Amino acid sequence: MSKLAAILLVLCVGSNARAEKPVWENEQVYHRNRLPARATFWPFASVEAARVGDREVSPLVKSLCGDWRFDWAPTPADAPADSWLNGFPSSSWARLPVPSSWQMHGYGTPIYKSSGYPFRIAPPRVTCEPPSTWTTFKDRNPVGSYWREFETPREWRGKRVFLHFAGVEGAFETWVNGDFVGYSEGSRSPAEFEVTSRLQTGANTIAVRVYRYSDGSYLEDQDMWRLSGIHREVLLVATPAARIADFTVRTDLDSHYRDAQLAIDIKLDADNPLDGWTIRADLFDTEGDAVLAESLQHKAEPILNLTSDAAVLVERTPQRGAGPFGWLHATVKAPRLWTAETPNLYRLVLSLVDDHGSVVQTTGCDVGFRKIESRDGRFLVNGKPIKLRGVNRHEHDPVTGHTLSLESMRRDIELMKRANINAVRTAHYPNDPRWYGLCDRLGMYVLNEADLETHGLRGKLANEPSWAPAFMDRVVRLVERDKNHPSVIGWSLGNESGWAPNFAACAAWTKATDPTRFVHYEGAQGEPDPAAVDVISRFYPRVRNAYLHPDLPQDPAAVERPENARWERLLDIADRRNDSRPILTSEYAHAMGNAVGNLPEYWQEIWSNDRLLGGFLWDWSDQGLLTRTVERKPYIGYGGAFDDEPNHGAFCLNGVVMADRSLTAKYEEVRRVYQPIAIEMVGAHRNEEGVRVALRVTNRRDHVGLDGLIPHWRLDVEGKSIAEGDLPPLSTPQRTTQPLVLTVPFDNTPGERWLRVSFRQPNATAWSPAHWEIAAAQFALPATEVRQVLGKTAEPLEVEETADSVRLKGPRFTARFDRHTATLVSLQYDGAEVLARPFTLQAYRAPTDNDRGFGSWLAKEWTDAGLDRLTVEPVSVAVQSRDVSQTTIATIVEAKTHGGAIRLVTTWRINGAGEIAAECRFQPTGRLPPLPRLGVVTSLVAGLDQLDWFGRGPWESYPDRQAACDIGRYQGVVCEQATPYPRPQETGSHEETRWAAVTDKDGKGLVVAATGDPFAFSALPYTAADLATAKRWVDLKPRAESVLSIDAAQCGLGNSSCGPGVLKRYAVLPVEHTLRFAIAPLSADEDPAVVARRERAAFNSQDQAP
């Protein structure tokens, strides 16, 4: 045998071997018959219809959404035989709505994986036998078979017809009238096929077979629920025989960022010559008026020839580049520019006109004039530096899975805009095409990401040449689909898949194809800052503040290794002089559970440095799925809720908002920290008119001044508003500072005085109601001194000591201290018991997701120390002093830990009126970790469930997440204080509380007032143990009593579920802490603020007496 023959034999054997693979287990086959990717646009019946741009009313687009016949099988071998493709399915087939995720309708199992694959890894195969406990052991590769009938409109005769799938999760094959149409992979990019020759008059059938897993699944290892099915729209699209196949719109601005250049590149598709035909472009403003003096026109034949596959190009010489971009060009004088703050749009209408002057086809798209640049380390839009106040967003709905309605998408953008979010990263795939139109119209910057993540294999596939075409296919489809959206300011090549030649090729193609946007990529492995991308990207970096757990590699030199890039601090990167690219935090502030600590510290650094472009919080909404318990109670489930194995538990619950878009304290914190107006108080002093307050207002918006916003002020005393008013509007230009001076009234009303200054929109907008608040800040003003306090008349106090207790009795109350527990166990007012459980030491909290996280391991340290199971032992009870109206009792308890102890020494002063002042000194000793909290806890009897407090609110707050919680007076109900995190954890605390009243519905109860520094408190129907042991919120059973916690200190939240932990300044170190508070009875006709003020003044004056 000759050498050549041997080589050919090997090639034939290899080819046959490849042919034996199923198409869905062959990385080199990612489509068959699929048309080239194109921009999102639709045909219309007239120029006017194209100008309006409502696809829903176009007679040339037919939706195939609705009920389809459906069959589910656990493996391809179990799927129905092919006879149904050319006939009718079995009557046993169910009906399934399209679009949908089939798991949300009871077929198969939703699987939540953060990273790693739900099948055994053996690329490109997906059906190798996994462990027997895995879901895929039985359901090896589920197949969904879809079928429906349809008719094409009579008016479509003689037209070409295209079958358009906006998104199919999995790999799929499709047939029309039994004829094979095509195959496609890539779950979140459109697949389009021409079906003209396969259609027949009257009824037609379409069949689709979806494979849950394919070789493409190796490129879709994103942190999300693994679902399946036709999850986006299915459409039929009719065009003339000669058609506009695609077009690209580019805009540019002159050096003054005033006049614009419009360039349009067009691809035509026709089987016959187009001699005498023209392509025409018209531009309209929002009022429908023509912008250009005359239509742009170009002969169609040259365009067709240069875009035809069969075209033979005659090259001119000499050749330098490819010449100017586009076939149609225009200068647009002083257009209204597009930014996220000013989403000004124009409407471009393209018409294909035949040689008789008749319009054969018309289509169009929205156009936003804007220019993107990077200069001197800054990222510019229309010549102005911007900051991306961003969030990552998965497409997720707790009921419909990965299928979203247009209304829900709009609601997301409205909520984001109201929270001062101006940018979204489409983590980690192209979103529904309709999302981008909303971003264009409402104003949202988009970092658009390819459907490309191989997290479970790191960079292995990015180094494999056989996978390179599949990598490129996904990036090309991203860019080609969304290239005309002004909201898209950057392309992200994918996520967490290493850096290797396949990505280098994708970056090169993207930059050559679209030089008007920046290219981003965060590989999470290998070279962190490849030269092929335009920004330095980091996940979960640190600020320069000291962390409780630094978690840096032991070897200082290791910090500079590429794989340790995540340990870097933002400002350290910005200080480097060897790379001047902008720096983007592509993920940070991991919002899992009760989280988003120290967000202000991040933004203090971002605002301070021009190179810091901003960041994208992780992430927008919890990815929980609605399910039911065995008792049919609804709840939000996370990984494992569906017996899915393997799974990553609650790691899908990372949202700033809940899965159903309920708002949280995290949302409010983001809204306040992201606000684009900084308000600072420079000084305040008394004058004859009141208090003169000098403020400094900085407009941090990128493109607009403060014109049109209404400044508003409000003066609160002890949490109640006593005066407010509007101020004249400011004309502060973007990125400048202006002084603001106002005078507020001052009177002798006693108490703390707080000034709140805000900026509001006067009118409703496309995303907000009228009077929506854009920014706010609060400042403490000088308080009125209380020179005389009229306390209660001294009442007699009886003290009875026994071997078991110390009992105190006044005219309206009794109290009892138990010597066996060394604590206050009973407190009665007017004969009614207040305490359901005694006061006791509390040093534990239900771990938050961050406490469990890999960035801190605090929860493990706490359990290792035994803080979750403390046994509080009595040391002593002693009556230190007594007289006819007041007695002082000292109690000491101690809780042993592994390696240490916490002693609580409390001095109680009780008077005949039933007022009790407590000074608690917490004394940790020995080897103890940083503590969850230090405080006391009790339970109040059932019926005491109404709250009124003066402190931070109304949302829960913690030491490092309280920017949005102003000091004020708030009311609530105990049963509504907890945030229902799907995995229960610490919740409901309120920082810097001056006093808190807990009463019945008539207003009778007690008030707890700080007599020293303000305390943190919570009142919940759950104990810390209840929250710590429950796995699901639905499992919690509210107690009848109210669990009242009063803390000297509680640990901050941090971000360590995936990122840096708690800053040291927000930690509770094991050193002595002191808590001082007073308890007083509250009758129905008393104002708790007055009682609290009296208690603070009375007991403080006793402390200061000689």
DSSP strand E in 270-358: where?
A: 278-284, 296-299, 328-332, 346-353
Strand partners, 939: 837, 1043
| Token pair of 481 as six digits | 């689909």
Spatial distance between the Cα atoms of 675 and 696, rounded to a whole number of angstroms: 15
All residues at 6 or more sequence positions from 48 whose CB lies less than 8 Å from its CB, including other chains: none
Q: Indicate which residue of 169, 522, 587, 605 is catalytic.
A: 587
Helices (H), 299-405: 300-307
Spatial distance between the Cα atoms of 98 and 113, rounded to a whole number of angstroms: 25
SS3 878: strand
The one-letter code for the residue type at 661 is R
Q: How far apart are the first and last CA of the chain?
A: 114
Q: State how far the alpha carbon of 979 is from the alpha carbons of 29, 128, 594, 683, 928, in Å.
A: 48, 43, 9, 38, 30
Spatial distance between the Cα atoms of 548 and 1062, rounded to a whole number of angstroms: 6
762: number of Cβ within 10 Å:
12
| Cα 873 versus chain centre, distance | 45
CB 1071 within 8 A of CB 924: yes
Is-catalytic flag, 522?
A: no
Is-catalytic flag, 496?
A: yes
Rg over alpha carbons for the chain, rounded to the nearest Å, is: 34
CB 1013 within 8 A of CB 1022: no
Spatial distance between the Cα atoms of 169 and 175, rounded to a whole number of angstroms: 18
Q: State how far the alpha carbon of 336 is from the alpha carbons of 414, 452, 505, 704, 732, in Å.
A: 23, 36, 37, 13, 20
DSSP strand E in 114-165: where?
A: 143-151, 160-165
Spatial distance between the Cα atoms of 953 and 934, rounded to a whole number of angstroms: 21
| Token pair of 408 as six digits | 């829900």
What is the phi/psi pair of residue 299, to 5°? -60, 140
- Least Cα distance to 446 among 479, 471, 397, 418 occurs for 479
Strand partners, 585: 538, 615
How many residues are present in the chain? Answer: 1106
- Least Cα distance to 350 among 416, 254, 268, 436 occurs for 268
| Token pair of 41 as six digits | 């646009």
Which string of DSSP letters, residue by residue, matches 931-942? Answer: BSEEEEEEEEPT
State the Cα torsion 997-1003-1006-1012 to the nearest 10°: 30
Find where tokens 């609530």 sit.
972
CB 297 within 8 A of CB 327: no
Strand partners, 726: 712
Spatial distance between the Cα atoms of 452 and 583, rounded to a whole number of angstroms: 22
Spatial distance between the Cα atoms of 432 and 4, rounded to a whole number of angstroms: 51
Helices (H), 707-782: none
Q: Indicate which residue of 192, 480, 496, 894 is catalytic.
A: 496
What are the catalytic residues? 496, 587
